[in-house]
A and B are shown apart, each in its own frame.
Chain A
Amino acid sequence: MITALSLHGLALSRGERPLFRDLDLQVAAGEAVALNGANGAGKTSLLRAVAGLLRPDAGTVTFAGPAGPLDPDAARAGLHLVGHLDGLKGARTVAEELAFQSRWLGGGDPAGAIAALGLHRLTGLEVRRLSAGQRRRVALARLIAAPRSLWLLDEPLTPLDARWRAAFGALMQAHLAGGGLILAAVHDPLPIPAREIVLGADR
């Protein structure tokens, strides 16, 4: 379980283009951080670097658990990354995808997640038949189905309607209350109290 995330002197680039450098950031248990910044400022890249999917040019990403520093590979089993690339297969049904995602990420029966995100009427549908907002709710369901402490969210609210933005806000609040951490790339403010970081503000 991750109880703290800290980035020190982080520098990232996409291809030849540097995104940002010397980024320091600490996220503690129970805290939400909203990453803001213009398109292309490097919000998604930062989330991918934290998840270990992108090698930083410089700097370190370190995780700590209740018993001290965590090995990065072990930490990866304690975080979720949900972006606009949701990994859902169009030809599979919602129920099949939820069952796979939950068990693959170490969770159990996704019934609780189906209830939390109001997916019970969609479970028999193929993923390709879902609207963008419904699809996002299916992708978010893995956060509930397989509990992990650090949530890395890439514009999680964008396709959701007002009702589900509020409902997901309540789920985020419950996650934080349980000692979770949230790092979310956003353009609109999160529906929960969050510390705001602006990427690329000095450019």
Chain B
Amino acid sequence: MSAALLLLRRELALAWAGGGGPLLALAFLAGLTTLIPLAVGSDPRVLATLSGGVAWIALTLATLLSLERLFERDLEDGALDLLTLGSLPLEAVVAVKAVAQWLALGLPLALAAPVTALALGLPAAAVPTAVAAGAIGGLGLAFTGALGAAVALGARRGGVLIAVVALPLFIPPVIFGAGAVLRAAEGASPLSALAFLGACSLFAAALTPLFGAAAIRNAQG
């Protein structure tokens, strides 16, 4: 356990130091939110329809942008070899790195998303759902993305391949997450959509460590 905490602390410190930290994610969200009215026009009805989904687009894109850093740099500078020779199995290393990714990126985005969503006209009643969906879904995206990053590792193609591998896997969490926010905005209960979102995240959290570690071993050898 202490080894997992040790690695988590290091990953978070690296996220802060490497410019991939929470502040950058928030700046990204703010920039994207500013672009939306410029891109689709300033009609409040249109913006209110989009308000819940913008946070999800931001979460997906920010996750994609940071995935290349997740394993690729560690493979290139030898840190992955060092992590493999430690006391923690590689499966646990993958899980810890995905959790660190969520803490540094997904969680701050989930907490900040309501602010930008309100600015675009999301009904205030949907805000708690937006936070919950963002937090749960962000964990799922972090694990799913980690799987994509691990699978793309051996090909050394970096960002674009990771996006092609990971984006289809992002479809279910985005459907249920954005769906939950939409139902809350319409005044209906978002619980079933949130439950499905939670199931997606748990599924990813259970499978990614196993498959991701296998993919990384393959890329190392």
- Please determine whether chains A and B interact with each other in the same assembly: yes
Cα-based distance from A83 to B76 in the complex (angstroms): 12
The majority secondary structure among interface residues of chain A is: loop
Would you give the 0/1 interface string for A69-81, flagging 1 where the beta carbon is closer than 8 Å to chain B?
A: 0000000110111
Judge if A20 is at the interface, Cβ distance under 8 Å: no
Closest to A90 in B: B77
How many residues on chain A are close to B (CB under 8 Å)?
27
Closest to B6 in A: A103
Judge if B171 is at the interface, Cβ distance under 8 Å: no
Within 8 A of B (CB), among A77-120: 77, 79-81, 83-89, 91-92, 96, 100-101, 103-106
Q: Are B87 and A106 in contact (CB under 8 A)?
A: yes
Q: Are A53 and B220 in contact (CB under 8 A)?
A: yes
Q: Are B87 and A77 in contact (CB under 8 A)?
A: yes
Q: Are A83 and B86 in contact (CB under 8 A)?
A: no
Cα-based distance from A113 to B14 in the complex (angstroms): 24
Q: Are B18 and A104 in contact (CB under 8 A)?
A: no
**B78 contact set on A, CB distance < 8 A:** 83-87
**A81 contact set on B, CB distance < 8 A:** 81, 85
| 18 residue pairs A–B, Cβ–Cβ below 8 Å | A53-B81, A54-B221, A55-B221, A80-B85, A81-B85, A85-B81, A87-B81, A87-B82, A92-B13, A92-B14, A92-B17, A100-B6, A101-B82, A103-B3, A104-B3, A104-B7, A104-B82, A105-B85
What is the interface of chain B, defined by CB distance below 8 A to chain A? Answer: 3, 6-7, 10, 13-14, 17-18, 74, 76-87, 220-221
